[in-house]
Structure 1
């Protein structure tokens, strides 16, 4: 932690003055500025890419040193081609300065947290609110950007560029771009097979090229979300039915966790007792559940969509009925209560919803975030005012969202110490990070137990059948192999980001739900693709979109005759 910023400030000031004075005494050609900047971007800002590329190449048994040498050469040439083509006239300095500053910010995120800026990460960032965005900002970020990006950008700003006639400048620029184009073609022709082999086995490498992968992903996101016509809304099932054969009302609480990974749940065998509150409640943990994505922007709408992970497309999903729409159409009273920045990513667009007010008037809130206990009051209000025979309440948690894990639980609920009381978690010890994250899981467990207690009381007071299903949207990396947080492309995301917890609890009156049977299927391999059918089954909603084979709980209801077996997928099921 920085305890005295005066030496750093003085160093930055003296470095800047020295650089400016040196630059002012020299005149550079436009091509020289392009080459110098391109070399800096290639070898400094693309250091994560180069190290990964070199590692991938040297791990092969028959790699060529010339091929290894060609990688940075190719990278520099490509950057020169881009800067040389776009940076004409008065655009030159702004382009180079922007490239340096943007590349530096991306370098910090990649080097510190292992973040890769592909399409999914751009989407996740675009849908992040200001409070969450600023949680990543700290003194180390600022100092790093100033030293690595600000000073070189300042040098470019003050650099004196030699004046040339239009024809002479065009000739020099054309020669620069043409020579490096030839070099790129030459490298590609000589080492094509090598690049193809390394690329085929290490597809993630391209995602580390800074800043061009970021620019490419941003352009695609902008084009798709702001310049593409919306699809007409599609009704998947116009007549879903509610099939409850007894007179008892039913309440199902679906708790959507945030950034919780399965391996840190003691219900799954983890050494830290993170489930001390629910371990004796009769809750069942499903141990082999995978997520649809590695970030909320993808996973949340995907898990409520009829589309599966392989076919999921955000544009298509938003233009058709989701799980909540079908439950509502069947006569279920659906309510979404959100404590995650008030964003359901479009999932709750057509059902009743409540956003938790983060104002400091609430003792559970700090003006930006609220502890998940804040969900309990609106939940209780709803339970006290049930108006339908079948009710589905979705609670969207802030859960274990990082990097400010320490803000996700009250200090009196800090079970594991010492914890990490800062956002730049890479500067905490491994044990401090794990302790802090485990505290968030333990606090989630505390809240889940409170929910169960309310459902049990509802049963005893009103004879209402109740059930709770908890599932997280994605997992989290805590520094394993130098990777932090989440959001890596799914193709090479570590298990920590895709293996998620799922917990199921039911009250005693749900006799048709055989708890021993549920325990027997809890080790089956399932994913977010199963959630649609599991929830339809729990809530007794009959729909043409229900697929019995994906409802892992279906066999545990069949013995009571409340679930008619399906002979064909996507046929009407009577629950």
Structure 2
């Protein structure tokens, strides 16, 4: 039925030339999809009044002329519609995130997209997104499908292409020459602006991702820390260590009342004897970067994603030294960090208790999973253990789904994933409720460890990255690190240790407590955690080892 309808529509529409088709496509891509870019240009223009509008109009013409010039080389009668479909789909969808959520399309965002899962995609679907898709993606595609392009002699077509290319080139160069000083000043100081122009942002970011960041297949595993060993083996008179490392999701430090936030988002943790580190920064602004980075042993400034993808990391080294290492996940995976250690399979009854029909689970599933894991350990097993819990945390944009009713004190809330349509206070209430729920999960976890008498128990929590909730017109996360706001890079970090750990390692606790207000980062995790676990290796970097900052030295 649909093909026949399109055919009838095509027959009723007067054919247009290829040149006219290219101009229409350039106008649509240049104008309809780039409101956020033009808004930023208008804010940054050095002019006022009519001259400001003239500068804005010149910018629009530059974008349209650039697209039209490019189309003269790639769009021919039999390829024009194919390229149009690709650009309309690519540009239409990315423009939604740019214009509605302030997301900058960067190689990091392409990496996020490549590593996302169906649950994360589902969280992005909303009525606003559906309406945008219909109006700015599917209807333009239908229009292109029914618009006939008239046949022309190749000589006539080439002549028109040369003419349009010449006019576009002259217009492009002329306007860039006239406003060169202004454009140079704006783009020199705001290099991120190009990531707002759809669809070139997607093409450029995708190319950059595959050139520099896409993991290469079948690379040999690089062994790391082969000399790792425990300083002293567990004896019958001394309890083994059990460290639980919690990798949080999308929690930002400024939303923790432990760090001075006005709303009480940490009602339970504030009553416990924890060490709160208030000045901690992340390695990246997205899980796909931060998680492998923090476990790699490479500091952020030297982080090599390709190397990290096929080199052993923190968990491999702890395992080699003698620890039983287990990863328990309630997120989208470990991004390669846990590939060679045990990945705990959560029992179905626990899933039935905490998971919704769409497969997403509340973080209390991690508490029950840890209880089940510990209960299964034989009484005579003295193996030291490192357990990593990966939270769903405050993953957006569906913040309202990240907490249960008893832990939603802040009302009214934004009970939708179309967060850009909520008021700022509603959005913050939903996000803050997710932090309150995380507070409950973490304090309950400490309670589990506190009641365990078979181990010296320790707890370390840090988030993978933060989150923007409308500040500077930005939402979510994944901005290029160099321009990312503090909301995306300033993360919470907490530690707790049992009385048995305190008794056996008092100098460690005192040393860590002294650093709770110092500037730290995820770079400190690798060397500091291995030292806490009594692991000795040449790959432990003393510069980032928190336990060496107080003059503490490991035994040989």
CA distance in 2, matches of 1:291, 1:419: 28
Report SS of the residue matched to 2:124: coil
2:259 matched residue in structure 1: 268
Report SS of the residue matched to 1:300: helix
Residue 174 of structure 1 deviates from its aligned partner by: 2.5
Report SS of the residue matched to 2:284: coil
Cα 1:256–1:360, aligned 2, differ >3 Å: closer, same or farther?
Answer: closer
RMSD across aligned C-alpha pairs, in angstroms? 2.7
1:249 has 2:240 as partner: yes
Unaligned runs of 5+ in 1: 1-16, 565-572
Residue 517 of structure 1 deviates from its aligned partner by: 4.5
1:85 matched residue in structure 2: 73
Cα 1:502–1:226, aligned 2, differ >3 Å: closer, same or farther?
Answer: closer
CA distance in 2, matches of 1:417, 1:162: 59
Cα 1:59–1:378, aligned 2, differ >3 Å: closer, same or farther?
Answer: farther
CA contact (8 A) 1:303 1:532 kept: yes
Report SS of the residue matched to 2:269: coil
Unaligned runs of 5+ in 2: none
- The more displaced of 146-155 and 220-229 is 220-229
1:153 matched residue in structure 2: 141
2:355 matched residue in structure 1: 365
CA distance in 2, matches of 1:313, 1:190: 42
1:413 has 2:410 as partner: no
Aligned match for 1:306, one of 280, 283, 297:
297
1:507 has 2:498 as partner: yes
Instruction: Report Cα offsets for 1:487-508 as digits up to 9, x if no partner.
Output: 1111111110110000011112
Instruction: Report Cα offsets for 1:430-474 as digits up to 9, x if no partner.
Output: 222111111111111111111111111113xx3x21110000000
CA contact (8 A) 1:358 1:365 kept: no
CA contact (8 A) 2:30 2:63 kept: yes
2:202 matched residue in structure 1: 214
CA distance in 1, matches of 2:324, 2:125: 41
Residue 177 of structure 1 deviates from its aligned partner by: 2.0
Residue 23 of structure 1 deviates from its aligned partner by: 9.8
CA distance in 1, matches of 2:52, 2:411: 50
Please give the residue correspondences for 1:374-523 in structure 2 after superposition, counting only pairs within 5 Å. Answer: 374-384=365-375, 385=377, 387-459=381-453, 462=454, 464-509=455-500, 510-511=502-503, 512-514=505-507, 515=509, 517-523=511-517
Cα 1:360–1:456, aligned 2, differ >3 Å: closer, same or farther?
Answer: closer
Cα 1:382–1:228, aligned 2, differ >3 Å: closer, same or farther?
Answer: closer
Cα 1:346–1:182, aligned 2, differ >3 Å: closer, same or farther?
Answer: same
CA contact (8 A) 1:307 1:529 kept: yes
- The more displaced of 378-387 and 518-527 is 378-387
Cα 1:361–1:68, aligned 2, differ >3 Å: closer, same or farther?
Answer: closer
1:535 matched residue in structure 2: 529
CA contact (8 A) 2:350 2:368 kept: no
CA distance in 1, matches of 2:200, 2:398: 29
1:345 has 2:326 as partner: no
Aligned match for 1:354, one of 344, 355, 362:
344
Cα 1:189–1:227, aligned 2, differ >3 Å: closer, same or farther?
Answer: farther
- The more displaced of 532-541 and 232-241 is 232-241
CA contact (8 A) 1:231 1:315 kept: no
Residue 67 of structure 1 deviates from its aligned partner by: 5.8
1:198 has 2:192 as partner: no
Residue 550 of structure 1 deviates from its aligned partner by: 1.3
2:120 matched residue in structure 1: 132
Cα 1:226–1:473, aligned 2, differ >3 Å: closer, same or farther?
Answer: closer
* Matched residue count: 540
Cα 1:359–1:398, aligned 2, differ >3 Å: closer, same or farther?
Answer: farther
CA distance in 1, matches of 2:233, 2:549: 18
Residue 221 of structure 1 deviates from its aligned partner by: 3.2
CA distance in 1, matches of 2:462, 2:214: 32
1:567 matched residue in structure 2: none
Aligned match for 1:550, one of 537, 544, 547:
544
Residue 361 of structure 1 deviates from its aligned partner by: 5.7
CA distance in 2, matches of 1:399, 1:227: 26
2:45 matched residue in structure 1: 57
CA distance in 2, matches of 1:390, 1:227: 33
Instruction: Report Cα offsets for 1:72-111 as digits up to 9, x if no partner.
Output: 2221111112222211122112222332333222221112
CA contact (8 A) 1:241 1:331 kept: yes
CA distance in 2, matches of 1:468, 1:226: 33
CA distance in 1, matches of 2:427, 2:96: 19
Cα 1:229–1:108, aligned 2, differ >3 Å: closer, same or farther?
Answer: closer
CA distance in 2, matches of 1:357, 1:121: 33
1:31 has 2:19 as partner: yes
1:278 has 2:272 as partner: no
Cα 1:402–1:456, aligned 2, differ >3 Å: closer, same or farther?
Answer: same
CA distance in 1, matches of 2:53, 2:418: 38
1:166 matched residue in structure 2: 154
Residue 389 of structure 1 deviates from its aligned partner by: 3.6
CA distance in 2, matches of 1:184, 1:381: 66
CA distance in 2, matches of 1:378, 1:348: 17
Please give the residue correspondences for 1:172-187 in structure 2 after superposition, counting only pairs within 5 Å. Answer: 172-187=160-175
Residue 147 of structure 1 deviates from its aligned partner by: 1.9
CA distance in 1, matches of 2:317, 2:446: 26
CA distance in 2, matches of 1:477, 1:98: 30
Residue 355 of structure 1 deviates from its aligned partner by: 4.7
Residue 415 of structure 1 deviates from its aligned partner by: 2.0
Instruction: Report Cα offsets for 1:266-298 as digits up to 9, x if no partner.
Output: 111111211111212101110000111111111
Residue 65 of structure 1 deviates from its aligned partner by: 7.8
**Normalising by the residue count of structure 1, what TM-score does the alignment of the two structures yield?**
0.88
Residue 356 of structure 1 deviates from its aligned partner by: 4.1
Report SS of the residue matched to 1:238: coil
**Normalising by the residue count of structure 2, what TM-score does the alignment of the two structures yield?**
0.90
